[in-house]
């Protein structure tokens, strides 16, 4: 797992090396500030992190980790306690990697031995339906879809109903990804949520927001808007391997107080890995400190 996270944070770790060419046993706060800012941690949050460190100028790895870890304390839904099918509703703007992430998530479920079904409720773009259908065929997973322009809520209803009839474990429903400030998108998402609940009481069981990791901390505004519309339960960060803004996850976790459940670290269906805060923090700190984590 560390290897996968390290791959996903390769550009982030390269930035750390540019600021701090040699690892240290203790780091001065000024250098730590510089590193955090370069990793796209907002200045106000950097100041807060420094404030909660011990008062001396030189600080140890364990002190930094204690503060950084505090931003990732949240509750995660236990899918095992929910009657099947477990329904994921996936939301996010176009270009964030939503459709590909759905395929990766479906592949993860399939590898766990679960039966999966996809619902193509982004009916505003023919390309979205086609792309999701290609993935479904590639992964040999059933899909419920319709033509462009049809009612996306009806697709969601049919996907859940079909899953109940077929004994499916997990349903993943795609949604349109137009910009979050459009009223019609807001109304559409709310309607899909209502209709999901009619198909199965309590569905969707989890509303997952896809955020583009290359946008760094600026993705927070998107997240806040979607959360206000339908109430987000969890976050997946995509394209983390393509950015040096790996530190933005601290800002996202602090501002939204929502669990980051997966990170995307590549293009293949196997490149969606469970997010583990300890491993994420250790990978970053192993590029700063001489320690037992990673290579010295």
DSSP secondary structure, 63-87, as one string: HHHHHHHGGG------GGGSPSSEE
Query: Taking the CB of residue 31, how many other CB atoms lie within 10 A of it?
Result: 14
Q: Is the dihedral of CA 178, 99, 174, 263 positive or negative?
A: negative
Distance between CA atoms of residues 114 and 105, nearest Å = 12
Q: What is the DSSP string of 233-268?
A: -EEEEE-GGG-S-TTHHHHHHHHH---EEEEE-SSS
Which pLDDT band, with edges at 50, 70 and 90, does 186 fall under? confident
Q: What's the residue count for the chain?
A: 296
Q: What is the largest CA-CA distance in the chain?
A: 63
Q: For the residues 172-184, what does the mean pLDDT come to?
A: 79
| CA atoms in the 13 A half-sphere facing the CB of 233 | 15
Taking residues 159-178, report their average pLDDT.
Answer: 95
User: Tell me: the pLDDT tens digits for 260-291?
Assistant: 999 998 888 889 999 999 999 999 999 999 97
Give me the mean pLDDT over the 178-200 stretch: 86
Is-contact 269 99, C-beta < 8 A? no
Which residue from 238, 246, 262, 280 is spatially nearest to 12, judged by alpha carbons? Answer: 246
How crowded is the C-beta side of 8, counted as CA atoms within 13 Å?
33
Indicate the average pLDDT of the chain.
Answer: 91
Looking at residue 3, its pLDDT comes to: 60
- pLDDT tens digits, residue range 59-101? 999 999 999 999 998 776 665 678 899 999 999 988 899 999 9
For residue 128, give Cα distances in angstroms to 40, 135, 159, 174, 278: 31, 11, 16, 9, 35
195-to-3, 126, 152, 157, 168 alpha-carbon distances in Å: 41, 22, 10, 6, 19
Q: Look at residue 295 and tell me whether its pLDDT is greater than 90.
A: no
Collapsed DSSP state (helix, strand, coil) of residue 194? helix
Residues of the chain with CATH 1.20.120: 2-73+280-285
What are phi and psi for residue 25, nearest 5 degrees? -85, -35
Q: What are phi and psi of 139, to 5 degrees?
A: -90, 0
What is the distance in angstroms between the CA of the first residue and the CA of the last residue of the chain?
18
Alpha-carbon span 183 to 285, nearest angstrom: 43
Q: Is pLDDT above 50 for 7?
A: yes
CATH 2.20.28 describes domain 2-73+280-285 = no
In angstroms, the CA 28 to CA 20 distance is: 11
Residues 32-54 as b/e (b if ≥16 CB within 10 A, e otherwise) read: bbebbebbbbbeebbeebbeebe
CATH of domain 81-276: 3.40.50.300
Per-residue model confidence (pLDDT) at position 221: 87
C-alpha distances out from residue 3 to 6, 39, 125, 236, 273, Å: 5, 20, 36, 19, 11
What is the arithmetic mean of pLDDT over 192-210?
Answer: 97
**Ranges of CATH 3.40.50.300 domains, the chain:** 81-276
pLDDT in tens, 219-235: 888 898 899 999 999 99
For the segment 101-157, what is each residue's pLDDT rounded down to a tens digit? 999 999 999 999 999 999 999 998 889 999 999 999 999 999 999 988 889 999 999
Q: What is the DSSP letter of 186?
A: H
The answer on pLDDT for 158 being more than 90 is yes
Pairing assessment for the beta strands 116-121 and 234-238 based on DSSP bridges? unpaired
């Amino acid at each position: 797992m560390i290897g996968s996270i390290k791959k996903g944070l390769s550009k982030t770790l390269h930035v750390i090396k540019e600021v701090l060419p040699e690892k240290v046993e203790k780091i001065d706060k000024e250098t730590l500030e510089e590193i955090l800012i370069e990793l796209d941690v907002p200045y106000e949050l950097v100041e807060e992190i420094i404030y909660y460190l011990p008062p001396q100028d030189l600080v140890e790895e364990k002190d930094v980790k204690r503060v950084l870890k505090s931003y990732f304390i949240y509750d995660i839904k236990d899918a095992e306690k929910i009657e099947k099918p477990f329904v994921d509703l996936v939301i996010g703007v176009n270009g964030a990697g939503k459709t590909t992430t759905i395929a990766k998530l479906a592949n993860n479920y399939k590898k766990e031995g679960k039966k999966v079904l996809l619902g193509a409720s982004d009916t505003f773009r023919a390309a979205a339906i086609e792309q999701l259908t290609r993935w479904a065929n590639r992964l040999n997973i059933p899909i419920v879809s319709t033509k462009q322009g049809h009612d996306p809520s009806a697709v969601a209803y049919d996907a859940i109903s079909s899953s109940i009839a077929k004994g499916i474990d997990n349903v993943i429903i795609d949604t349109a990804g137009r910009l979050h400030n459009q009223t019609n998108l807001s109304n559409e998402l709310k309607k899909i949520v209502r209709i999901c609940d009619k198909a199965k009481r309590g569905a969707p069981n989890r509303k997952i927001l896809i955020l583009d990791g290359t946008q760094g901390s600026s993705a927070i505004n998107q997240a806040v808007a979607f959360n206000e519309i339908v109430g987000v339960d969890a976050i997946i960060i995509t394209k983390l391997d393509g950015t040096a803004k790996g530190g933005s996850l601290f800002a996202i976790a602090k501002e939204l107080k929502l669990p980051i459940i997966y990170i995307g670290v590549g293009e293949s269906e196997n490149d969606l890995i469970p997010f583990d805060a300890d491993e994420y923090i250790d990978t970053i700190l192993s590029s700063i400190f001489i320690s037992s984590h990673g290579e010295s």
